[in-house]
Amino acid sequence: MTEHTPWIHVNLAAQRLRLYGSDGAVLADWPVATGANGAGELDGSGCTPRGRHIVRARIGAGEPADAVFVGRRPTGERYTRALADAHPGRDWILGRILWLSGTEPGHNRLGRCDTMRRFIYIHGGPPESPLGQPVSHGCIRMHP
């Protein structure tokens, strides 16, 4: 975080994401769903990494909120309940992706603890997906 830069904080215990302005004031507060396996940085853990991160890539500009992404690319599909029923168990990534990169070598960057190489995002999820509880594969899921 640099001076005069808005920033976010994800509170894993409260399952909330807060957006702060450059003056430190809370601008917005949303419920999220983080990793079902809790907090952690190791590759393959299914945990949500901790520590300072930057947004390495913003993906999905111009796409509708219900656009479906696989491998960070829009599939051309639009999320519906019928599509979800046809693909049970699919990890839905919708609307936008903020791909995170850790800034702390040895903690959340490089080696077996690299947030970016783990493909950890802040992303949209289906409207019926639960928020306020840890149920994701490690990403931070929000409603579009």
Note every long-range contact of 79-86, with CB atoms under 8 Å and residues 24 or more positions apart, other chains counting.
Answer: 79/126, 81/128, 84/126
* 27 occurs within a structural domain: no
* 134 occurs within a structural domain: yes
Q: In whole angstroms, give the CA distance from residue 136 to residue 110.
A: 23
pLDDT at residue 102, rounded to an integer: 94
Range of the domain at 56: 32-142
- Which tens digit of pLDDT belongs to each residue from 24-73? 899 999 999 999 999 999 999 999 999 999 999 999 999 999 999 999 99
pLDDT at residue 6, rounded to an integer: 87
Q: In whole angstroms, give the CA distance from residue 54 to residue 7.
A: 9
Average pLDDT score over residue span 74-87: 96
* 60 occurs within a structural domain: yes
Number of domains observed in the structure of the chain: 1
* Domain CATH code at residue 94: 2.40.440
Of 123, 67, 131, the C-alpha closest to 97 is 123
pLDDT at residue 144, rounded to an integer: 78
pLDDT at residue 5, rounded to an integer: 83
* 6 occurs within a structural domain: no
Of 137, 135, 118, the C-alpha closest to 31 is 135
- Which tens digit of pLDDT belongs to each residue from 90-126? 889 999 999 999 999 999 999 999 999 999 999 999 9
Contact predicate 35/138, CB 8 Å: yes
